[in-house]
Chain A
Amino acid sequence: MTTWRAATVASTARLTSTARSIVLDVPGWQGNLAGQHLDLRLTAEDGYQAVRSYSIASVGPGQLVELGVDKVVDGEVSPYLVDEVRAGDQLEIRGPLGGWFVWRPADVGPVQLVAGGSGIVPLAAMIRARRTSSSVAPFRLLYSARTPDDVLFAPELDNAGDVEITFAYTRRAPDGFARKPKRLDRTDLAELTLPPADDLTVFVCGPTGFVEAVADGLVSLGHDPARVKTERFGGA
C-alpha cells in the first residue's frame, strides 16, 4: 500500500478565473509517468479529513509536483485549493497512481489527445513528457473549452512546438473564429483528429458526458475501442 507523504505548497499560479496551478514540494517523490494521478488529503485542525484524486500536470524526476485544479462550485476540497491554499501550507499526498491512462516516452506510435475543460491536465503532462524526452511521436491535441478564457496552460500550449493543437469552444469563441461555439460532435472529430490507425493511441479526458460523447464518436469513426483510453471525472 502506498503511504501518505507530507507535502508543502511551493507556489501557486492562477490559470483561469476558476482554476489554479499548485506546485507541491514532496520530499521523497520518485517521479511519475505522464497521465498518472495522486490522492490529496487535507486535515482540518479538529482532525476532520477529506481526500480527492487529482491528475498530475508535471512529469519526470525531482520533488516538485504540479497539479491543475478547477473549482467545483459546491465542492469542499477544490474551492480550498483554488481560492485559499498558499505557499507554505501543508497537506498530504499519496501516489503516483494509475497504470493505464499513461503515455511513456518509449511509445513511438502517433497520439491523439482530446481534452474537455480541466481534462487537459493529464494530457498537458503527456505533451510535457514528449518534449522533455525529445520524442518524435506525432502528437495532436483537440481541446474543447467553454471560452478562450477557460483554457488551462494557454501560453505553454501556444509554444508546444510540433504538437498540432486545435481549440474548440462550447460557449464563446474568439472574434473571427470559424467554428461556431458548440459541443464537439462526430463531424468535428472526423475533421479535427487523426484518423483511425493500427498504431494510434487516443487519450480522452474530461467530464463524464464529454468523454462518453467523444469516445462514442471515435468508435463510430472506426477507432479500435481498445486503443481509446479514457479518464472521466465527476465533481467534488
Chain B
Amino acid sequence: MAVISRGFGGRRRRAEEDLPPGQYLTEDFPVLSAGPTPVVDTAEWEFVIQTETGARHRWSWDELQALPIEEITKDIHCVTRWSKLETTWRGVSLDTLFEQVETAYDYVLAHSYGGYTTNLPLEDLLDGKAWIAFEYDDSPLAPEHGGPARLLVPHLYFWKSAKWVHGLVMQTDDEPGFWEQNGYHLYGDPWLEQRYS
C-alpha cells in the first residue's frame, strides 16, 4: 500500500528517465568526504600497484603524465543522490597501468593520501571502465574533488572513485574499505541502487 504525501509534488524537477533510481540531477559538483581535504604535492605524489608477490609498480607524477592520456566523458552518481551528466575528465586508463602488472588476485583495495580506502573487484577497473584522473572540466582537479589525482570509476557510486588516490593493493578477497565498513554497500551499483549494506 503506497504512502502518499499530501500536497507533495508541485515543485518537482523535470523527468530524469536517464538517471539511476533515486537520483536527481545537479549542475553543481557537491563534495562527500569523511574528513579534511589532504594537501598532496605533485612533486611527492606517486601511484603504486602492489601485488601478492610484494612487487610494487610505481609511477611518479611525471611518469604518469608521460603515459597515453584519455579524454573521458561520463555520467557520475553519488550515493547522496546527486547525479551529474556528461562530466569531462582527462586521465590514464587503468588498463595502461595494469599492462605491466602480473596478479592472480581478483580484488583491489584502493588507498588514498589521508587514509581513505575503498574496495573494488579488479574486473571493474579494466576494459575501459576506470582511470586515474587529474583534470576535470579542462582544469587541474581541485583538492576538494580529489586532486591532484583520483580514481575514476563512473559506473559505480562515486565513493568508489577514491579521491587523492595513492595506490592499489591486490587482495584475495573483497575486503570492505572505509565507507563499506561504515554502512555502505560492498559493490555500489547505482542502477541496482546498492547504497547501503
A contacts, CB < 8 Å to B: 1-2, 6, 42-48, 50-53, 75-76, 79-80, 84-85, 89-92, 97-101, 208, 212, 215-216, 218-219, 225-226, 228-230, 232-236
Complex contacts, B179 vs chain A, CB 8 Å: 100
Give the distance in Å from the alpha carbon of A215 to the alpha carbon of B33 in the complex. Answer: 11
- Residue from the list B12, B28, B114 in contact with A234, Cβ < 8 A: B28
**Majority secondary structure, B binding face:** loop
Residue of A nearest to B38 (CB): A225
Smallest CB-CB separation from B25: which chain A residue?
A236
Within the complex, which residue of A44, A51, A91 is in contact with B9, where a contact is CB–CB below 8 Å? A44
Question: For B197, what are the chain A residues with a Cβ–Cβ distance below 8 Å?
Answer: 1
The answer on a CB contact under 8 Å between B36 and A236 is no
Flag if B37 contacts A212 (CB, 8 Å). yes
- Say whether, besides A1-B196, A97-B183, A229 and B34 are in contact (CB < 8 Å): yes
Q: Which of B2, B12, B182 contacts A99 (CB 8 A)?
A: B182
Identify which of B2, B5, B10 gathers the most chain A CB atoms within 10 Å of its CB. Answer: B5
A110 to B80, CA, bound (A): 30
The chain B residues found within 8 Å of chain A, CB to CB, are 2-13, 22, 24, 26, 28, 30-38, 80-82, 114-115, 144, 178-179, 181-183, 196-197
The smallest C-beta distance from B195 to any residue of chain A, in angstroms, reads 8
Q: CB distance A212 to B24 under 8 Å?
A: no
Q: Which residue of the partner chain A has the closest CB to B32?
A: A232
Q: Are B81 and A90 in contact (CB under 8 A)?
A: no
Contact B3 A92 (CB under 8 A): yes
Additional A-B contact list (6), CB under 8 Å, known A90-B6, A235-B28: A2-B196, A44-B9, A80-B11, A90-B4, A97-B183, A229-B34
CA distance A226 to B53 in the complex (A): 30
Inside 8 A of A98's CB, which chain B residues have their CB?
Answer: 182-183
Q: Are B13 and A76 touching (Cβ within 8 A)?
A: yes
Q: Are A46 and B9 in contact (CB under 8 A)?
A: yes
Question: Closest approach, in angstroms, between the C-beta of A233 and any C-beta of chain B?
Answer: 8
Total A-B residue contacts, Cβ distance less than 8 Å: 111
Specify the chain A residue showing the minimal Cβ separation from B144.
A212
Cβ contact of A208, chosen from B30, B181, B182, cutoff 8 A: B30
**Chain B nearest CB: distance from A60 CB in Å?**
20
Inter-subunit contact A100/B34 (CB<8 Å): yes
Known contacts: A1-B196, A98-B183, A228-B36. The answer to whether A43 contacts B4 by CB under 8 A is yes
A82 to chain B, nearest CB (A): 12
**Chain B residues positioned under 8 Å from A101 (CB to CB):** 34
Identify B2's interface contact among A47, A89, A208, A218, CB under 8 A. A47
Q: Which residue of A lies closest to B9 (CB)?
A: A44
CB <8 Å contact, A53 and B30: no
Task: Assess the B8–A42 pair: CB atoms within 8 A.
Answer: yes
Report the separation of the CA atoms of residues A75 and B115 in the bound assembly, to the nearest whole angstrom. Answer: 34
Q: Which residue in A44, A218, A226, A229 is a CB contact (below 8 Å) of B4?
A: A44
Pairs A–B under 8 Å by Cβ, sample size 15 = A6-B3, A43-B2, A43-B3, A43-B5, A44-B8, A47-B2, A50-B24, A79-B11, A97-B196, A100-B34, A216-B37, A225-B114, A230-B34, A235-B28, A236-B82
Name the residue on B nearest A53 (C-beta): B80
Question: Whole-angstrom distance from the CB of B146 to the nearest CB of chain A?
Answer: 13
Q: Which residues of A contact B36 (CB under 8 A)?
A: 215-216, 218-219, 225, 228, 230
